[in-house]
Amino acid sequence: MINLNTCTVFVVCILTTVFVYWLLIYFKYRSKFNGKIPSLPMVPIMGSGHIIKTPQDMYRKFLEYRYKNNSKLQWTMFGFEGFLLVMDAKLIEVILTSSKILNKSHSYTYLHNWLGTGLLTSTGNKWKKHRKIITPAFHFKILEDFIPSFDTASDVLVDVLKKEIGKPSTNIFPYITLCMLDSICESAMGTTVNAQKDADSLYVRSVKQMCRIIVERTLSPMGQFNSTYQFTKNYKLEREAVTVLHNYTYSVIKSKKEELSELNGDTENYDVDEIGMKRRRAFLDLLLEYSKDEQNRLSDENIREEVDTFMFEGHDTTAAAISFCVYLLSKNRDCQEKAFAEIKEIFGDDKNRKPTQKDLQDMKYLELVLKESLRLFPSVPFYARELTEDLKYGELIIPKGTTMLLLAYIMQLDPEYFPNPKQFNPERFVNNTEINTFSYVPFSAGPRNCIGQKFAMLSMKSTISKILKNYDLFPVDHEMEISSETVLTSKNGVKVQIRKRIW
């Protein structure tokens, strides 16, 4: 039997080893950065975890210390990982345009159980191969096939919102999130999960579960290591959710392949449905089509990874962007009326006409509104890259292994880059040449920029224009509690008042 003294000595040895290991990492960064750039407050083992305990803290504290330390570069640690906080457009340009700094941070591995190593999380040759294969799926001619899916989902949204007309306040975010789930699911797989009519479906709950777990793992010491994560409650919940999500995607892949097999290679007939109408091609259809080429062959697992990645990246980001845009239009009634006037000019007397790609492209002012909304509330508030070798930037040597957090949301509120940064002013984007390309990165930039940004812009325009066709948006007395999660969100909702619009 092990006596108490032996156990005590063992625990003390373990704790001492952990403490010494943390100190070694701490002094490595301190020797590189001290005196050159400031740091956030830190304590042993936790790093800055004592002041940043929640996603809301992350948003507030990074912004607070940007001005408290008066520096666009700062460093910190969370647990045993060193971070360089980057809010400087020049360094962001160096990072995002580099052909060597392509690896995402360690926290992206928390997505592997769900997304595998799809386009978002993969590196090296696999990433290059898949990027090359998938790029044609977002060609402007193919994007037209997705527009009916946007329109169908937003029709349901307009119908669901009828019950909110005239209420003092409506949290628009959950409605739009479910709408985007419907829209992206049909665009990605050609199927519908009816999220807006069945918000409690197993698939919808599993998507929400995974988004929550990923955020919590990032901030949890137990969640950061696979060896300890498996003893947490979230580990079991994640396995259950992933099983549901994978089974659904694989079942759709199997069904699609069976349809193609029955045609015996006659893919021309696949583009026409049973009543002779042109079939909507989903992202999955395109991947299966490209995979017929031996050089572009993708396994079912590869296809599942990319379809799930499209689902994950597509629904939350667009839902956040649309919600914040609707909120800003309610607060800035003059801008809302300009956007509505543009929409009315495009559709004339036929309010219910289905939008074409040209209609959406002609919404120039709405595009300015969206760009300004994404400046104030970028759906992806920061990007993370991990250095695989030392990086020299001026007199600074950033050591290998550093995770660089590119804080887009802070940089896009910097008065040096955007005069009167808190003012909602869509016209600032009329002349893009006055804006530093790398001070405004809502879709990232460089080799790993968002491959679906044109898809996202069409989707957002389609949904917002449909809302403005039917509803007049008014402000409510509501101060949002902004939080940096898988996407930027508000913990207490995104609230507006909805009234019926007279066309």
pLDDT mean over 144-162: 94
Does the pTM surpass 0.85? The reply is yes
Element at 498 (helix H, strand E): strand 495-500
Helix, strand and coil percent figures for the chain, each rounded to 5: 55, 10, 35
pLDDT band at 225 (very low <50, low <70, confident <90, very high): confident
Q: How high is the mean pLDDT of the chain?
A: 89
Q: Are 296 and 133 in contact (CB under 8 A)?
A: yes
Q: Which long-range contacts (CB under 8 A, 24 or more apart) does 56-64 make?
A: 56/481, 56/482, 56/483, 56/484, 56/491, 58/483, 58/484, 59/381, 59/409, 59/482, 59/483, 59/484, 59/488, 60/482, 62/407, 62/410, 62/484, 63/409, 63/410, 63/413
Confidence of residue 277 (pLDDT cuts 50, 70, 90): very low
Most confidently predicted of 184-188, 278-282, 440-444: 440-444
At CA 282, angle to CA 277 and CA 284, rounded to 5?
135
Exposure string of 420-443, with b = 16+ CB inside 10 Å and e = fewer, is ebeebbbebbeeeeeeeebbbbbb
pLDDT of residue 51: 93
Separation between Cα atoms, residue 472 and residue 404, nearest integer Å:
42
pLDDT for residue 440: 95
pLDDT confidence of residue 265 = 53
Report d(CA 268, CA 361) in Å as an integer.
Answer: 29
Rounded to 5 degrees, φ, ψ at 293 are: -75, 125
280-290 per-position pLDDT tens digit = 678 888 888 88
Token pair belonging to 23: 């100190």
Question: How far, rounded to the nearest angstrom, does the alpha carbon of residue 14 sit from its chain's CA centroid?
Answer: 39
Locate the DSSP E strands across 250-409. 383-386, 391-393, 396-398, 403-406
Is residue 357 within 8 Å of 384, Cβ to Cβ? Answer: no
Q: How many CA atoms within 13 Å lie on the side-chain side of 161?
A: 31
* Residue 271 in this model has a pLDDT that exceeds 70: no
208-213 contacts, C-beta under 8 A, 24 or more apart: 209/237, 209/238, 209/241, 210/114, 210/238, 210/241, 210/242, 210/245, 210/312, 211/312, 211/316, 211/485, 211/486, 213/110, 213/237, 213/238, 213/241
Q: What is the pLDDT of residues 245-263, one digit of tens each?
A: 999 999 999 988 888 777 6
363-420 residue pLDDT tens? 999 999 999 999 999 999 999 999 999 999 988 999 999 999 999 999 999 999 999 9
Q: Which of 494, 455, 470, 456 is nearest to 138 (CA)?
A: 455
Tokens matching residue 487: 């996407």
Q: Residue 410, SS3? A: helix
Domain boundaries, given as residue ranges, for the chain: 46-500
Tokens of 194: 């009816």
Residue 272 is given by DSSP the state: B
Q: How far apart, in whole angstroms, are the C-alpha atoms of residue 273 and residue 262?
A: 14
Please state, in angstroms and as integers, the Cα–Cα distance from residue 390 to each residue in 71, 386, 401, 447, following that order.
22, 11, 8, 20
Residues 74-100 have a mean pLDDT of 93
Q: Are 360 and 147 in contact (CB under 8 A)?
A: yes
Q: Give whole-number Cα distances, 375 to 87, 327, 409, in Å.
A: 14, 14, 7
pLDDT band of 274, cuts 50, 70, 90: very low
Name the band, by pLDDT with cuts 50, 70 and 90, for residue 422.
very high
Name every residue whose Cβ is closer than 8 Å to that of residue 468 and which is 6 or more positions away in sequence: 329, 336, 339, 340, 343, 501
As a whole number of angstroms, the distance between CA 429 and CA 116 comes to 37
Name the percent of the chain lying above pLDDT 70.
95
Q: What is the CATH number of domain 46-500?
A: 1.10.630.10
Q: Where are the beta strands (DSSP E) in 410-494?
A: 471-474, 482-484, 488-490
